[in-house]
Structure 1
Amino acid sequence: MSLLSIEGLTVALPKGGDRPDALRDVTLELGPNEILCVVGESGSGKSMTAGAVMGLLPEGVRATAGRVMFEGRDLLALSEPELRRLRGRRIGMVFQEPMTALNPLRSIGSQIGEMFRVHTRLSAAERDARVLALLDQVRIPDPAAAARAFPHELSGGQRQRAMIAMALALDPVLLICDEPTTALDVTTQAQILQLIRDLQRRTGTAVLFITHDFGVVADIADRVAVMRQGEVVEQGPAAQVLNRPAHPYTRALVAAVPPLAPPATRPLSAEAVLRVENLSKTYRKAGFLGRNARVTHAVRDVSLNLPRGGTLGIVGESGSGKSTLARCLVRLLDPDAGRVSIDGQDRLALSKPDLRRDARRIQMVFQDPYASLNPRRRVGELVAQGPMVHGTPRAEAMAQARELFGLVGLDAASLDRFPHEFSGGQRQRIGLARALAMKPEVLVADEPVSALDVSVQAQVLRLLAELRERLGLSMVFITHDLRVAAQLCDRIAVMRNGSVVEEGAAAEIFANPRHDYTRALFAAVPGRGWVPPVAYGTETA
């Protein structure tokens, strides 16, 4: 018997949308003690399905047909007070981004405790005890300190655990998880997935798990539903959908999953274009009246070489020092000690005017292209801006921008559009075009594909590999995704707590990781035992 039954659900978008309906004739069933994974690209309707179940559709978006049956009641026919009584008590939800779902002005404990205050008659002392028990249940260290903390004082993994604690506070029979592990490190992701599995098995909770990560699907799903442009194109047992996908779209998604193994080793130059020697960076945050100052050694005595024409992958968890190292390489941060040289020239010894003139040699692609692109300027101007600052006439710089758009697979006719008018993958290509406009010798890419759909991710990785060959680029590629690192990187450096704990050829590290921490990273990769049945990067749809 189904706990949740979505029957012929159609949800209309406001006029002017990219399609008439966000969801079209969606039918899904979820039984008790079952995990149903809903997969698909951004815009496929996954989150809209969750919103329809929770009664949290965006303003102007409404269900026009179908039913959402839960415990014998049609959720679409319930009033807002009736839905409020169900939310939290019978249906819990874990949102994708806890920093936007949690109130930044209230402590974690007070936000979890509100579930008991609204839905139960527990005393304040009983509520506090239940909050601590929940935080302990989701394995947050020092629950009492976490309860007093505000969201920004917890790590990403701890915030996500707090969200799970809140969702599970009243023992709901249905838990909806909307991309809860998308931007988390592999070790934190593995812990969250194990937590959800353990809780589901212990309590019998049904889980509707929304994701675009097929490794996650391979780890936890009982059944899988694949969505495309608002429709369910395939559904069935997890083993069947993962290993014998029937629909061309499902096969294309599976084909885009990079294997956890590097391709054949490329011959590399013995010459190093970039040398990093004994680099260190420490952050110091003063405490109240100068007491309890916090010292963070973000980068500790790091030494690395980047072969000319090669790609050096920097992998590790959040807080390992990867992004700080990247910012030191391009001089967005000044390190405390060490040397960074390109072709023998120490960039740390350059004055600011000399550094500005030397900026052409090393450029950076940021993790979030939307945050790094000025929303008030047209993308053509953003790409042409760097060369113009360095003396290139505007007409010539704009002509180069048109060429670069073609090079990164964008339509030159879109140069006059603004960043918000592009998809996430397209914005990442714009950021890449802007960096390439300076004709750099070294490209530093900081998590450039971490938030992209698997198919878009595959496109960007192929593009980077093609540009590396065509332009002779040398790259420093920062990522926490070992599948991604395997496909692009010639050498791998593993960072932990600011230090490089292991470094070597990608093929050697993937075949025989030596350090315990490296082995732990490999062990935490979701779906590591699943091998996609079609070749990486093939196009089947």
Structure 2
Amino acid sequence: MSTVLSIQDLSVALPPGADRSHALRHLNLDLRANEILCVVGESGSGKSMSAGAILGLLPERVRAESGRIEFDGRNLLELAPAELRAIRGARIGMIFQEPMTALNPLRTIGDQIGEMFRAHTRLSRREIEQRVLALLADVHIPDPPAAARAYPHQLSGGQRQRAMIAMALALEPGVLIADEPTTALDVTTQAQILKLIRELQERRGTAVLFITHDFGVVAEIADRVAVMQHGVLVEHGAAAQILHAPRHPYTRALIAAVPPLTPPPERAVSAAAALRVEGVSKTYRSGGLFTGRRVVHAVRETTLELPQGGTLGIVGESGSGKSTLARCIVRLLEPDGGAIRLGDIDLAGLRGRALREHSRHIQMVFQDPYGSLNPRKRVGDLVAQGPIVHGVPRREALRRARELFELVGLDPEATGRFPHEFSGGQRQRIGLARALALQPRVLVADEPVSALDVSVQAQVLALLADLRTRLGLSLLFITHDLRVAAQICDRIAVMKNGQVVEHGPAAQVFADPQHPYTRDLLAAVPGRHWNPPGEALAERSVVRDAA
């Protein structure tokens, strides 16, 4: 196959004061026609910086120091801004990780896709409208005319990503760059998007540079794989070779950190219940005088039981009711009905001081640790805040905060720093320390590792399992990632449309799912048929033993 894009000895310098001198060091990489090349690595490995260099979209004060990026006989690094704009979109398309931030919220989907034709062609308004509808149909968005008239917030996450793909492919570019396009999506939507990209790539012969940290995705769609670490290409080759016989220690470590889809042997768990959810419901109502009334039954008479010292995983797609149920349980939302029993106490029936007193025994770890930590406060103060509110003297609370930092694997001296001075994995540990500060009996973790790299994810999961054992915690674990659920959960509850459709021991649910929806979820897991090589499995067992 011919090479359509060639990166030659590319070095990208970072500004003074960065954690290293270069984002990329002497990168050499070729993208061939009609192939999908997956670039994998952790955050900070240089994956997205490579895409930015290709498109001339490097951050401010970051510059290409040396090297060439050859496309269509020209060095992209030497082109004027106007020349690059003519190539972006028309010749090289881009799919971004988060379509909600990449799309203009004030313009309709059809208008934004149509902009590609208005900027690069002389088509008439009528021809552009027809092309937009054809593209929306191509990416399998139902009712293309309605989608074209919709604004981004009126589409689901998967539909927004499909609209981004339609926009990227509008002018049939020879190269498509996809930067983590499925990271924030449910497993079923993710499977649909991956299938769509492969289908469009094969039909149009497009060369795809697919950036990801998910080896399941790599196993699903990659022809070749390039592995990056700290801005350096450490290994590259055919997908089969990288997935089944990785040579570099870093590649083996990444593969070792991929959670297996098969649960470990079942643990002995107490028959007593730490938490009982009985018939809990929550309905959202919107609309008013000038708009139609809308009623959404987010949670419908749900009943669950969390064993003492055990981990109950709640899995399902976005909109299934998982997070709403979690927020009802910790009383961030007021349930419409039902009971939430912590021992003999029904939290759903408590108000005011009584609720504050008893809710300390059930704490929550949030999905986005940066969004849940006040950026203006030092992290030690954030961890100490809960105990201080409950009457613990400030000096004692800060001393406990230092102890908790050590417990979750952080330097106690770091309590004087601010949230932005920590990595994503470290911020999640801070969130965990804050949740543990009130010595809860139950910990509710809402997608606590979904935004983390696979290796950091493995560390946080091992830490949670360790704390569960050491502190006697009971965990309610909310996730849409079935690999993560398989690794840490003793029991699984599958939610769909606000209801639990299947509930049982993790080994039973994964080995013999009874409900069609559960079977669909498992069938959609990317790379579900891929088994990492024996060496990686041995390294993974070390991670498990550490847990």
What range is the shorter-chain TM-score in?
over 0.9
Instruction: Provide Cα deviations, 1:517-541, integer angstroms capped at 9, x if missing partner.
Output: 00000000000000111122547xx
Residue 211 of structure 1 is matched in structure 2 by 212
Instruction: Provide Cα deviations, 1:446-477, integer angstroms capped at 9, x if missing partner.
Output: 00000100000000000000000000000100
Question: What does residue range 343-354 of structure 1 map to in structure 2 within 5 Å?
Answer: 343-354=343-354
Worse-superposed segment, 279-288 or 252-261: 279-288
Residue 56 of structure 1 is matched in structure 2 by 57
Residue 295 of structure 1 is matched in structure 2 by 295
- Give 4+ residue runs of structure 1 displaced > 6 Å after superposition: none
Name the aligned partner's letter for residue 461 of structure 2. L
| Structure 1: tracts of 5 or more residues without a match | none
Residue 359 of structure 2 is matched in structure 1 by 359
2: distance between equivalents of 1:214 and 1:335? 39
1: distance between equivalents of 2:507 and 2:129? 51
Instruction: Provide Cα deviations, 1:300-319, integer angstroms capped at 9, x if missing partner.
Output: 11000000110000000000
Worse-superposed segment, 481-490 or 121-130: 121-130
Name the aligned partner's letter for residue 25 of structure 2. R
Name the aligned partner's letter for residue 457 of structure 2. Q
Determine whether 1:426 maps to 2:426: yes
Residue 438 of structure 2 is matched in structure 1 by 438
8 Å contact 1:96–1:180 — kept in the other structure? yes
Local SS of the residue matching 2:360: helix
Name the aligned partner's letter for residue 154 of structure 2. E
1: distance between equivalents of 2:246 and 2:57? 32
Residue 327 of structure 1 is matched in structure 2 by 327
Instruction: Provide Cα deviations, 1:82-115, integer angstroms capped at 9, x if missing partner.
Output: 1111111110000111111111111111100000
Question: What does residue range 190-339 of structure 1 map to in structure 2 within 5 Å?
Answer: 190-289=191-290, 291-339=291-339
1: distance between equivalents of 2:222 and 2:411? 39
Question: What does residue range 382-461 of structure 1 map to in structure 2 within 5 Å?
Answer: 382-461=382-461
2: distance between equivalents of 1:326 and 1:125? 49
Residue 13 of structure 1 is matched in structure 2 by 14
Residue 150 of structure 2 is matched in structure 1 by 149
Name the aligned partner's letter for residue 363 of structure 1. Q
2: distance between equivalents of 1:530 and 1:127? 42
8 Å contact 1:226–1:250 — kept in the other structure? yes
Deviation at 1:187, TM superposition (A): 0.2
Local SS of the residue matching 2:271: coil
Name the aligned partner's letter for residue 23 of structure 2. A
Name the aligned partner's letter for residue 441 of structure 2. E
Deviation at 1:286, TM superposition (A): 1.4
1: distance between equivalents of 2:452 and 2:309? 26
| Structure 2: tracts of 5 or more residues without a match | none
8 Å contact 2:347–2:359 — kept in the other structure? no
Question: What does residue range 121-136 of structure 1 map to in structure 2 within 5 Å?
Answer: 121-136=122-137
1: distance between equivalents of 2:424 and 2:108? 32
2: distance between equivalents of 1:425 and 1:101? 25
Local SS of the residue matching 2:255: helix
2: distance between equivalents of 1:273 and 1:322? 19
- TM-score norm. by structure 1 comes to 0.99
Name the aligned partner's letter for residue 444 of structure 2. V
8 Å contact 1:107–1:148 — kept in the other structure? yes
Name the aligned partner's letter for residue 483 of structure 2. R
Instruction: Provide Cα deviations, 1:461-508, integer angstroms capped at 9, x if missing partner.
Output: 000000000000001000000000001100000000100000000010
Residue 485 of structure 1 is matched in structure 2 by 485
Name the aligned partner's letter for residue 112 of structure 2. Q
Name the aligned partner's letter for residue 418 of structure 2. F
Local SS of the residue matching 1:382: helix
Figure out how many residues of one structure are paired with residues of the other and give that number.
Answer: 538
1: distance between equivalents of 2:169 and 2:542? 41
8 Å contact 1:94–1:177 — kept in the other structure? yes
1: distance between equivalents of 2:28 and 2:159? 34
Residue 76 of structure 1 is matched in structure 2 by 77
Question: What does residue range 363-382 of structure 1 map to in structure 2 within 5 Å?
Answer: 363-382=363-382
Name the aligned partner's letter for residue 521 of structure 2. L
Instruction: Provide Cα deviations, 1:152-179, integer angstroms capped at 9, x if missing partner.
Output: 1111111111100000000000000000
Q: 1:288 to 1:84 in 2, by over 3 A?
A: farther
2: distance between equivalents of 1:206 and 1:57? 22
2: distance between equivalents of 1:47 and 1:538? 31
Residue 117 of structure 1 is matched in structure 2 by 118
Local SS of the residue matching 2:340: strand
Local SS of the residue matching 1:302: strand
8 Å contact 1:6–1:27 — kept in the other structure? yes
Local SS of the residue matching 1:410: coil
2: distance between equivalents of 1:317 and 1:373? 26
Local SS of the residue matching 2:3: coil
2: distance between equivalents of 1:511 and 1:386? 42
Deviation at 1:288, TM superposition (A): 4.6
Deviation at 1:20, TM superposition (A): 0.5
